[in-house]
Amino acid sequence: MKRLILGIAILGALAFASGPLFKGSNVDAATNERAVVQFTETVKLLDVFLRGDYVVIHDDSKMAQGDPCLYIYRKDEPDNPVISFHCQPVTRNKVDTFTIRTNRRAWFDLPEVLEIQFAGSNTAHLVR
């Protein structure tokens, strides 16, 4: 009986020390960020004008390969990106909601998207 208890205790300690044995979809969640946004007024993002409902996706694995990593899709056309581009990650204070920072060169200009930051992240993605 003592050996059984000792064996169970050793197996339990090994299980806790070795970390998780299986990794599920959390691995994918760590490399992809996604948000749905509605532009109620027209904004400019590089050479594209956006207005309406869009899905914004950032893919860390594509960034690591040197491919465009930020993709914008029309919400009703999820298979055809409106624009994709390389971003530059920068550290910012953590935000609770999806945030797009814009700037107007003059009061009459359209807002231009400067950076995109996903909810819960302390990394913003500069448009370049």
Domain range summary for the chain, segments of one domain joined by +? 21-127
Q: How far, in Å, are 33, 83, 114 from residue 76 at the CA level?
A: 19, 15, 25
pLDDT tens-digit readout, 92-110? 999 999 999 999 988 888 9
**Tokens 């090994």 sit at which residue?**
14
Q: What is the pLDDT of residue 4?
A: 43
pLDDT value at 24 more than 80: no
Higher pLDDT, 128 or 20: 128
98 vs 29: which has the higher pLDDT: 98
Please give the share of the chain, as a percent, with pLDDT higher than 90.
66
Q: What is the residue type of 119?
A: A
